[in-house]
Amino acid sequence: MAKSTIKELESLTANDAGRILREDGSLAGRISVRKDGVSVSFFYRYRWGVSYAEKVVSSRGQHV
């Protein structure tokens, strides 16, 4: 998967809420809407035994 650019992240709107951005490797970002704008929470998803686990790495917001 391709890396997201700053321009792509800045163009996110409330209509993108719930979407998952896939990055290289196991990194992904979950788009959500908060009272002060759009936010992307980045996390790593990895396999642990027979199930999958997620570890949050960062959360970035944008005021709309």
Decide if pLDDT at 42 tops 70.
yes
Per the structure, the count of domains in the chain is 1
In a domain, 49, yes or no: yes
In a domain, 53, yes or no: yes
Query: What local confidence, expressed as pLDDT, does residue 63 receive?
Result: 47
Q: In what order do the strands lie in the sheet with 51-62?
A: 20-22, 27-34, 37-48, 51-62
Q: What is the pTM of this model?
A: 0.71
% of the chain with per-residue pLDDT over 70: 88
Decide if pLDDT at 27 tops 60.
yes
In a domain, 1, yes or no: no
Domain span at residue 19 reads 6-62
Decide if pLDDT at 56 tops 70.
yes
